[in-house]
Structure 1
Amino acid sequence: MPEASSSSLSLDAWLVRLERQHPVSIDLGLERVARVGRRMGLFDAPLATRLVTVAGTNGKGSTVAMLEALAQAHGLSTATYTSPHLLRYNERLRLDGQEADDATLIRGFERVEEARLAGEPISLTYFEAGTLGALWSIAERRPDLAILEVGLGGRLDAVNILDADVGVVTTVAQDHAVFLGTDLEGIGREKAGILRAGRPAVLGSTVLPASVREVADALGAEVHALGERFHRVGEAKAWEWQGLDVSGCPVRLKELPDPGLPLDNAATALQALALAGVSLDEVACRRALAAVTLPGRMQWLGNWCLDVGHNPHAAGYLAARLAERPCAGRRIGLLGMLADKDADGVIEALAGTLDAWVAVGLDGERSRSADDLAATLEAHGQRVLYRAVSPTSGAEWLADELGEDDEALVCGSFFTVAEVLAWWESRLRRRGHDEIRNA
């Protein structure tokens, strides 16, 4: 049966097509994607008035979300591109704080397809095609601020075809070892690959590998490091930010609220926005940080907490935040992880915070079974209450097991959180329908 014309494809059909058109799902390098970007005219004019690119092992999503909220609170038009998504592909591209509609995404994919076939055909991965489509959609609007989140690494990631006005590196830890290796200095160099000569580099952690600073210094980038040129003072209840504006003048913001996200990332977002030329208003900053939300990051749904943390560094932050929150009953973890992730490190980080576990399996080429995960949990002296073939079946079992004072933590993978979040929404819809029928 002949393939449908690209002009008649739905968004779901486009996504299936993009998944199939390249021989491997991850193919790091900029040559192919830059050639198509050039054909699309993405280098002919700036994407936005200011462009901020955010790289890092953990904290990228939080930093992007707070940058977006802070910019909008100051009256700026915004566009953000992030990955992966939880429930809908549309989540990846946000225009003025709203998810892009299907039509916008499809137009971007059509433009990418037209460009990659204009001359010698160029093969693109799913992520590369999606990135180019998003960049084209952003360029069509020319917002005041565009914020791009690196998908993997930095130096060879598709978003790095464009030169950022401000480059941000949040944290560096081990993750994606198959592609980035296990040497933190090498990983740091890859993350720092988004930085540009003579432009501000915001370093959002006090424990980055030396290689990040070495790359920045070699480029002659203007380094703004947490604990050096900007500071976060105090704890979540009422903290203070001290930094520099684009002219190098000191700025101080007091009595800032807890955004429910890492404060180091909040401080980093504030410094990046200031270096993008925004004059920070204390009231606007308070308003933005008090209201910011990010699905899948310390997201509470009743007595369920959902967090996509999937490496030891992220698990350590999650454990610290949970320790600040007393639980009258049991705290049970629902854990599903991919086979190439450090399950031992994640379990060690969370072990003292949880009373028992539900191990769930994940499907796909990088799958890890519930039995394998349960064995790892038990090897660390953890109590496993149940093994489920999927996050959905694990959530169904756990929903019946939880007492009134108990809490559930869902973590270990974007896939685990996405599936449980979809289950939760379906559960709410079922309850709503039952209430209507019984009314």
Structure 2
Amino acid sequence: MNTQSGTSVSGKQTPGSQGFAADKASLSEWLGYLEALHPTEIDLGLDRLRQVAERLDITSLPCKVVTVAGTNGKGSTVALLESVLRAGGYRTGCYTSPHFLHYNERIALDGEPVADELICKAFAQIEQARGDISLTYFEFGTLAAFLVFAEQKPDVAILEVGLGGRLDAVNLIDPDVSVVTTIALDHESWLGSDIEQIGREKAGIFRSGKPAIIGSQQIVSSVRETAEALGCCSIDQLGYQYRWSEADQGWNWQQLNAEGEVTLQYLQLPNVNLPTDNAATVLQVIQHLGLDIAGDALYQGLATAQLTGRMQRLGRFMLDVAHNPHAAEYVAKRLPQVEGKRVALLGMLDDKDIESVLDIMAPHFDAWYLAQLDGPRATDVKRIESHLSALGCDNMRSFENVSSALDGILEETCDQDLVFVFGSFFTVAGVLAEKERLSA
């Protein structure tokens, strides 16, 4: 079983077993139970979820809420916003997915994953309240996050949409500010291949009378149209209502009025480790939240924000979860020059646009180490081999899993080589699980 969906517990009782005490189940036992609870992994819609949330009295949260959707840039936006808020002295709650190594990563308070006990307590409450209503693994976890935030009462809860927007479990909660970062083709099995329709689905997180923020200059028209149709109090788009520009040291940010006049600006902001478009969007979110954050705290929050698996450096290894063409284009432009070779460690899922990703990335690498991933959504590594061969890549080897691909890399590459790990959360998680080997 892979790290994204928890660990099955063979031979142990589950909360549905006769005589099992749900309030004493371990987190691993709960996750094994949740994997088998619903007939499908993904079942978009809010009706079942809303019924359970009403029974638990968590259809709203006792704090400000920011919801973030988009094809790429969601995680970076969440990480930057959390960092700035915490630097400003505000308590944060973050719900993100998927996780890399531990389920607890999905629910964080003040930057730290919550304890097993809090999650298990929430799972037990949900199990008792749901009756005969079936919930997916993701829906169960989303309700658990809501319960934790309702109990712990952070100043701001930041919710990352899992898939789409309008019908995603996160969208049960009405946000005070909503953000759509970018729109591109991804998750086509569930969202379709019509990019305008995908835009409408993701823009479904916008709310009447609340600000809508669009974190890209190149956005499909359906996103703004949906915000207008929903009656958002303002629609702020990068490059129009706010913008950023490069400076001699760092970058500058400006907020604009309807006439294009600068109404607020920050100069000489520090360079960030994550995309500057997302950092600029976070500053616009801060304005709408109406929170007082001193200039030095703002600078500190931007400068120190980090996100696992996004252009993450571990010695000569670089890790990024890039798995669609938009993300591939972004990372391809930012690959560093090296004295030795550029080596790719790649594993992907079958529902991704694998050929387009390879078209973009193939010219940038001297050697390929291909890892077979686990699970029903994993693509057969032969599909990747075939397309790389068609692109003229002849220096490649295939392995039964990420660990064995890492073995080959450590044996056959040197300190001057750059190893770029990408293609899926599963691929990056597989390397992170063996992080201590990277410096061997």
Out of 304, 308, 313, the position equivalent to 1:295 is 308
Out of 34, 37, 46, the position equivalent to 2:50 is 34
SS at match of 2:236: strand
Offset at residue 18 of structure 1 (A) = 0.7
1: distance between equivalents of 2:325 and 2:50? Answer: 34
Which shows bigger deviation, 256-265 or 164-173? 256-265
Out of 195, 205, 209, the position equivalent to 1:198 is 209
Are 2:73 and 1:95 equivalent residues in the alignment? no
Offset at residue 76 of structure 1 (A) = 0.5
Q: Deviations over 1:323-370 (max 9, x none)?
A: xx2211101111101111111111122223222211111121112222
Q: Deviations over 1:380-402 (max 9, x none)?
A: 22233311111111011111111
Determine the structure 2 residue equivalent to 1:9: 25
1: distance between equivalents of 2:167 and 2:420? Answer: 34
TM-score by length of 1: 0.92
Q: Deviations over 1:199-257 (max 9, x none)?
A: 00010001111000000011121101000111011179511111269xx9822111122
Offset at residue 280 of structure 1 (A) = 4.2
SS at match of 2:212: strand
Determine the structure 1 residue equivalent to 2:66: 52
Aligned residues: 420
TM-score by length of 2: 0.92
Q: Deviations over 1:14-57 (max 9, x none)?
A: 011111111111000000001100100013xx414310000000
SS at match of 2:265: strand
2: distance between equivalents of 1:351 and 1:241? Answer: 35
1:250-399 aligned at under 5 Å gives the runs: 250-322=263-335, 325-399=336-410
2: distance between equivalents of 1:317 and 1:207? Answer: 14
2: distance between equivalents of 1:260 and 1:428? Answer: 21
SS at match of 2:359: helix
Q: Deviations over 1:83-136 (max 9, x none)?
A: 00000000000101111110011111111111102xxx2100000000001111
* 8 Å Cα contact 1:359/1:371 also seen in 2: no
2: distance between equivalents of 1:174 and 1:384? Answer: 30
1: distance between equivalents of 2:181 and 2:373? Answer: 28
Out of 218, 226, 239, the position equivalent to 2:238 is 226
* 8 Å Cα contact 1:244/1:274 also seen in 2: no
Determine the structure 2 residue equivalent to 1:436: none
Out of 166, 171, 184, the position equivalent to 2:182 is 171
Q: Deviations over 1:152-185 (max 9, x none)?
A: 0000000101111000000000000000001110
* 8 Å Cα contact 1:333/1:408 also seen in 2: yes
Determine the structure 1 residue equivalent to 2:80: 66
Change (3 A) 1:236 1:18: farther
* 8 Å Cα contact 1:175/1:341 also seen in 2: yes
State the percentage of identical aligned residues: 48
List gaps (5 residues or longer) in structure 2: 1-12
Offset at residue 428 of structure 1 (A) = 7.0
Offset at residue 258 of structure 1 (A) = 2.0
Out of 409, 415, 418, the position equivalent to 1:404 is 415
Q: Deviations over 1:382-427 (max 9, x none)?
A: 23331111111101111111112100000000111101110224x3
Determine the structure 1 residue equivalent to 2:8: none
2: distance between equivalents of 1:29 and 1:244? Answer: 37
